[in-house]
Structure 1
Amino acid sequence: MYRPLESKKMALECTISELGAVRLACIIGRVDSATAGGLEKAIIPLFDTSGCHAIVDLAAVDYISSAGLRIILMAAKRAKQAKARLVLCGMAPQVREVFEISGFLKILEVAADQASAQALLA
């Protein structure tokens, strides 16, 4: 399912698909204060079903602000409450650096790509 997440500056796109028992969210664009609300509406519901794991592919994200980090952290907490797992994958170097500086790489599961993320959840 395709969900464009509109902002005044740039649209953020989120495609949600099923990979067996795992949900995959592919994010495209820039995650900032203008698009973070839309991102929240797209990825938080991934954990409405208890035990349903999710992968968030950030390969096409070129920028993430603290507002975006907050949404990712909320999703991780929601996953934990639902007895599920969240795995992030495909981070560009500049996005990975933001996660590293914030300390999020120590508390979140991160994989190099979708295949590695699926292997973590297998």
Structure 2
Amino acid sequence: MSEEFTYATSEGPNGWTIWQVIGRIDVSTADEAYASGEEIVKGNEKIAIDLSTLEYISSAGLRVILRLNKLAKKSGHKLTVCGAYGMVKSVLKDSGMDVLLAAKESLDELS
């Protein structure tokens, strides 16, 4: 299991910017995750957070996603999460985040 957070960005379909988060978002990586996500949200109108390579998310990670979603809404941008599976998907569902956020099963669903 990875002990750190990394990310990659790419262009997706229909003008979406894909922010692929890799590893973990927890108390030790939340500030770095938010800083990188904030830059992406501010610079793009449609952002998909690809969670398919995220191994672990804590409550600190959930706060990162909530803050980025709030920033996107405030800026008039769209934000969605995609590809959550396993533990990450369970945490999103158990916390009610799946109701608060736009969510897709995969990047293929972006329109």
TM-score by length of 1: 0.82
The one-letter code of the counterpart of 2:102 is E
1: CA distance, partners of 2:77 / 2:8: 20
Return the alpha-carbon distance in structure 2 between the equivalents of residues 17 and 54 of structure 1.
10
Aligned residues: 109
| 1:100 shift after superposition | 1.1
| More helix per residue | 2
- Percent sequence identity is 28
What SS class does the counterpart of residue 13 from structure 1 fall into? strand
Match of 1:56 in 2: 49
Deviation (angstroms), 1:16: 1.4
Q: What is the alpha-carbon root mean square deviation over aligned residues?
A: 1.6
Q: Which residue is equivalent to 2:58?
A: 65
Q: Supply the distance in 2 between the matched residues of 1:21 and 1:60 (Cα, whole angstroms).
A: 22
TM-score normalized by the length of structure 2: 0.90
| Mapped contact 1:46–1:52 kept (Cα < 8 A) | no
1:102-117 map, 5 Å: 102-116=95-109
Q: Which residue of 1 aligns with 2:4?
A: 11
Cα-to-partner distance string for 1:36-86 (whole Å, 9 max, x where unaligned): 11110111122224x701000000111100000000000000110111111
| Structure 2 residue ranges without an equivalent (≥5) | none
State the match for 2:16 in structure 1. 22
Match for 1:14: what amino acid?
Y
